[in-house]
Structure 1
Amino acid sequence: MVTSAILVGAVMGAMGISYLSERFGRRVSVMVVTAVFVAGAVACSRAPDVTSLIIARVFLGLAVGGATQVVPTYISELAPASKRGNLVTLFNVAIGVGIFLANLVGFTMRDAWGWRPMISVAAIPAAFVFICMFFLPKSPRWTAENEGLASAVEQLSRVRTSRKVIRREIREIHENASDIDESERGWKGLMLPFARPALVAALGIAFFTQAGGLEMMIYYAPTFLSDAGFGNSAALLASLGIAIVYLVMTLLGCLFVDKIGRRRLVLIMGPGSVLSLIGLGIMFAIHPDKGSVGSWMIIAFLLLFMMFNAGGIQVVGWLLGAELFPLPMRAAATSVHAAMLWGADLLVTATALTLVQLVTLGGTMWVYAGVNLLSVIFVYFFVPETAGASLEDIEIALRRGEFKPKVGQDPRIRSYDAEDAEEVGFTTTTA
Structure 2
Amino acid sequence: MSQSGEYPSPAAATGSLLAGNARFMNTFISFAAAMAGLLFGLDIGVIAGALPLITEHFSLSSQLQEWIVSSMMLGAALGALANGWFSSRLGRKYSLMIGAVLFILGSLGSALAQSAEILLLWRVLLGFAIGIASYTAPLYLSEMATESVRGKLIAMYQLMVTLGILLAFLSDTAFSYSGNWRAMLGVLCIPAIILLAAVFFLPNSPRWLASKGRHIEAEQVLRMLRDTSEKARQELNDIRESLKLKQNGWGLFKSNSNVRRAVFLGMLLQAMQQFTGMNIIMYYAPKIFSLAGFTSTRQQMIATVIVGLTFVLATFIAIGMVDKAGRKPALKIGFSVIAVGTLMLGVCLQMIDRGNHSAGISYLSVGMTMMCIAGYAMSAAPVVWILCSEIQPLKSRDFGITCSTTTNWVANMIIGATFLTLMGHIGAAATFWLYSALNVAFVMVTFILIPETKNISLEKIEHNLMAGKKLRHIGQ
After TM superposition, the score normalised by the length of structure 1 is 0.91
Are residue 217 (structure 1) and residue 284 (structure 2) matched?
no
Give the counterpart letter for 1:172 in structure 2: D
**Structure 1 residue 291, shift from structure 2 partner:** 4.3
Q: Tell me if structure 2 keeps the 8 A contact 1:384–1:413.
A: yes
Closer, same or farther in 2 for the Cα pair 1:22/1:353, shift >3 Å?
A: same
Gaps of at least 5 residues in structure 1 are 406-410, 415-431
Alignment partner, residue 35 of structure 2: none
CA deviation profile, 1:348-390 (whole Å, cap 9, x unmatched): 1111111111211111110000111111111111111011111
SS of 1:386's equivalent in the other structure is coil
CA deviation profile, 1:82-116 (whole Å, cap 9, x unmatched): 11101112221111011000000111222347111
**CA distance in structure 2 between the partners assigned to 1:202 and 1:263 by the alignment:** 14
Closer, same or farther in 2 for the Cα pair 1:227/1:58, shift >3 Å?
A: same
Alignment partner, residue 80 of structure 2: 14
Q: 1:31 aligns with which of 70, 92, 97?
A: 97
Are residue 71 (structure 1) and residue 133 (structure 2) matched?
no
Alignment partner, residue 422 of structure 1: none
CA deviation profile, 1:277-306 (whole Å, cap 9, x unmatched): 111111111116444322221111111111
**Structure 1 residue 228, shift from structure 2 partner:** 2.9
SS of 1:190's equivalent in the other structure is helix
Q: 2:475 aligns with which of 404, 413, 418?
A: 413
SS of 2:468's equivalent in the other structure is coil
Q: 1:271 aligns with which of 320, 336, 349?
A: 336
Closer, same or farther in 2 for the Cα pair 1:254/1:403, shift >3 Å?
A: farther
CA deviation profile, 1:5-51 (whole Å, cap 9, x unmatched): 11110110011111111111111111111111111111111112111
Give the counterpart letter for 2:82 in structure 1: G
Alignment partner, residue 102 of structure 1: 168
| CA root-mean-square deviation | 1.4
Q: Tell me if structure 2 keeps the 8 A contact 1:82–1:258.
A: yes
Q: Tell me if structure 2 keeps the 8 A contact 1:204–1:378.
A: no
Alignment partner, residue 185 of structure 1: 248
CA deviation profile, 1:371-413 (whole Å, cap 9, x unmatched): 11111111111111011111101100111112422xxxxx572
1:10-409 maps to which residues of 2 (within 5 A)?
10-112=76-178, 114-177=180-243, 179-181=244-246, 184-191=247-254, 192-231=256-295, 232-287=297-352, 289-405=356-472
**CA distance in structure 1 between the partners assigned to 2:368 and 2:177 by the alignment:** 30
Q: Tell me if structure 1 keeps the 8 A contact 2:464–2:474.
A: no
**Structure 1 residue 190, shift from structure 2 partner:** 2.5
CA deviation profile, 1:63-96 (whole Å, cap 9, x unmatched): 0111111111111000101111011122211110
Alignment partner, residue 429 of structure 1: none
Identity of aligned residues (%): 28
Q: Tell me if structure 2 keeps the 8 A contact 1:15–1:336.
A: yes
Runs of 4+ in 1 over 4 A off after TM superposition: none
**CA distance in structure 1 between the partners assigned to 2:378 and 2:162 by the alignment:** 11
**CA distance in structure 1 between the partners assigned to 2:234 and 2:290 by the alignment:** 58
CA deviation profile, 1:144-181 (whole Å, cap 9, x unmatched): 1214221111011121112222122111111111x132
Give the counterpart letter for 1:390 in structure 2: S
Q: Tell me if structure 2 keeps the 8 A contact 1:242–1:303.
A: yes
CA deviation profile, 1:182-224 (whole Å, cap 9, x unmatched): xx31222233201122223211110010111100111112112
**CA distance in structure 2 between the partners assigned to 1:349 and 1:334 by the alignment:** 22
Q: Tell me if structure 1 keeps the 8 A contact 2:74–2:413.
A: yes
**CA distance in structure 2 between the partners assigned to 1:281 and 1:298 by the alignment:** 9
**CA distance in structure 2 between the partners assigned to 1:233 and 1:219 by the alignment:** 17
After TM superposition, the score normalised by the length of structure 2 is 0.83
Q: Tell me if structure 2 keeps the 8 A contact 1:197–1:403.
A: no
